[in-house]
Amino acid sequence: MNRVIVGMGSCGLAAGAREVFDAFAAEATRRGIDVEVGITGCLGLCYREVLVTLESETMGAALYGNVQPEDAEHLLQAHFVAHKVIPALLVGQNGAWGQDAKFFQPQQRIALRNCGHVDPESLDDFLSRGGYVGLTRALRELTPDGVVEVMKATGLRGRGGAGFPTGRKWELARASAGPAKVVICNADEGDPGAFMDRNLIEGDPFAVLEGLTIAARAIGAQQGYVYVRDEYPLAVQRLDKAIATARTRGYLGRGILGAGFDFDVVTKRGAGAFVCGEETAMIASLEGERGTPRRRPPYPVEQGLHGRPTSINNVETLASVPWILANGADAYAALGTGRSRGTKVFSLTGDVRRTGLVEIPMGVTIGTIVEEMGGGSPSGRPLKAVQIGGPSGGCLPRALFATPVDYESLQQTGAIMGSGGLVAMDDSSCMVDVARYFLSFTQEESCGKCTFCRIGTKRMLEILTRLCEGNGRAGDLELLEELSHRVGTHSLCGLGRSAPNPVLTTLRYFREEYEGHLYEHRCPAKKCRALIEYTIDPFVCDRCTLCYDQCAARAILGTPLLEPMAIDPDVCLRCGGCLEVCRFHAVTVA
């Protein structure tokens, strides 16, 4: 069958996938080409969207990137009539990758195995790639205790950030006495720069549901919830459709697969509070209360939703479970290193050429991810640092790019695995400002329940703001460090305890930048506006009007074409516009 498959995850749709889909459908009809036009989720190459795969018996499958609606005519003609490819847009053909090979070579796709390969709204597509094989085995070949033992043997640790062993969590929940048990999929992904959960649900919702059903079988639950933020409308839409289809086809509801096992799932939409990613805060939200954490113990596996034993796993963890049940614990445990087994999904963003979603075996180095897979900085400037683990993660310098990505190695550096956000920064980034940015996020998202998080992060943010504005005081660095340790030690939940990580790691690895801000009132990266000044060299200035025309603040002095330009520092907004447009390198910043 001739097929055209358009990548229609959120990244693809933002790049114009809907218009591309319509263009292929219309052009195929106009030309009389017998072709089915379908959809898929994100393959991970977000930097090459819109992605379109063309399939035929003659040519096999050819994947094209950066496709525009006007390309539909030429691609249909080439693939289905002339039987040739268009090299300028070609990403890969029949499993062989071109210039994007380095992006894929280190990857081992387990959680992401179906994303970009199946229609996320088609159960038959999911079944054709081994869907529900794992659940069938869990129901027909294994006892619930047997399922728990398989998961314990894998060494899989929760991919939501804490890294608690999944099999052990299920074992505790199964052993808990109490009323009807509950399983929850935590899809409340609120980290800046993170989109793993969103892409997984958009691209392969049935895998998440299958994993959740296996978890329910293991602990003895009959009710499940997917807690997903309302800002993910496409994910919610596809998940709800998948739930309805699974019910109709006998994969949810009563007597699943004829095994006498009853289980159903509903989605619950969160209001976008980052703290509700913490499991006890999420439970409070599900119960209709304000999303604030509570003290533990008791833990959710003992007393969770409505006092019932509750097992909570994140999207990536659950998406990996069906593969494990289908392929065996040994196959999964063979990947990774030490106590960090299997694979980890990262959203790769920031100053890299190839941004997107990657899944690598544990133990691959940071440098491999950002420099080989990511392709390094698009500006050509050297990479300076990475922020790993989301807003509560740590900032690690280039000198530590050889660090393996595993729980223990990252913890030794002061960073954390987190849920999988990875932001690369080149040498134009000010690490004091980076710490200020991430702390401003966690401070704003604090629920305010405990004093150390509510007040401590506010005082820390005030110090960082003073430093970035050139108003630092003697003793600020020592006070910042002391506050960081106290907040990290005494806060109630993981948000507060990990919020100081960006500050502590930047103080540890980039202290000279802090000292430059404090003692010399300068920003070494020339990023903090209050600490820099733009000037124009009169001997280099060509008297053109580019900077004059660019400046919205009217800070450029002088008569265009007659005398060199100058900048009034009292009016200048320090936006950098003049620096960007100057063709003669006459504008400098100090």
Q: Which residue ranges in the chain fall short of pLDDT 50?
A: none
- Assess whether the region 431-519 and the region 533-589 belong to the same CATH fold: no
Question: What pLDDT does 53 receive?
Answer: 96
Question: What pLDDT does 428 receive?
Answer: 92
Other residues' Cβ atoms within 10 Å of the Cβ of residue 271: 11
- The CA-based diameter of the chain, rounded to the nearest angstrom, is 89
Question: What pLDDT does 179 receive?
Answer: 79
Question: What pLDDT does 52 receive?
Answer: 97
Helix (H) or strand (E) holding 242: helix 233-248
**Cis ω before 297 (30° cut-off from 0):** yes
Residue 402 burial by Cβ neighbours in a 10 Å radius (0-12, 13-18, 19+): exposed
The rounded distance, in Å, linking the Cα atoms of 142 and 149 is 10
Question: What pLDDT does 227 receive?
Answer: 97
The rounded distance, in Å, linking the Cα atoms of 329 and 156 is 9
Question: What pLDDT does 391 receive?
Answer: 86
pLDDT in tens, 46-91: 999 999 999 998 899 999 999 999 999 999 999 999 999 999 999 9
In the CATH hierarchy, which fold is given to the domain comprising 123-333? Rossmann fold (3.40.50)
The CATH code of domain 431-519 reads 1.20.1440.230
For residue 315, give every residue at least 6 positions away whose Cβ sits within 8 Å of its Cβ, in sequence order, or none. Answer: 185, 186, 187, 189, 196, 197, 200, 201, 208
pLDDT in tens, 212-262: 999 999 999 999 999 999 999 999 999 999 999 999 999 999 999 999 999
Spell out the domain ranges in the chain: 3-99, 123-333, 337-426, 431-519, 533-589
The rounded distance, in Å, linking the Cα atoms of 21 and 78 is 17
The CATH code of domain 337-426 reads 3.10.20.600
Question: What pLDDT does 420 receive?
Answer: 85
Q: If we measure between CA atoms, which residue out of 417, 393, 500 comes closest to residue 456?
A: 500
The rounded distance, in Å, linking the Cα atoms of 382 and 380 is 6
Q: If we measure between CA atoms, which residue out of 398, 402, 400, 399 comes closest to residue 381?
A: 398
Question: What pLDDT does 341 receive?
Answer: 95
For residues 270 and 229, the answer to whether their CB atoms sit within 8 Å is: yes
For residue 63, give every residue at least 6 positions away whose Cβ sits within 8 Å of its Cβ, in sequence order, or none. Answer: 43, 51, 52, 53, 90, 91, 92, 93
Taking each helix axis from N to C end, the angle separating 431-445 and 457-468, rounded to the nearest 10 degrees, works out to: 150
In the CATH hierarchy, which fold is given to the domain comprising 533-589? Alpha-Beta Plaits (3.30.70)
The CATH code of domain 3-99 reads 3.40.30.10
Question: What pLDDT does 418 receive?
Answer: 83
The rounded distance, in Å, linking the Cα atoms of 517 and 127 is 58
For residues 386 and 413, the answer to whether their CB atoms sit within 8 Å is: no
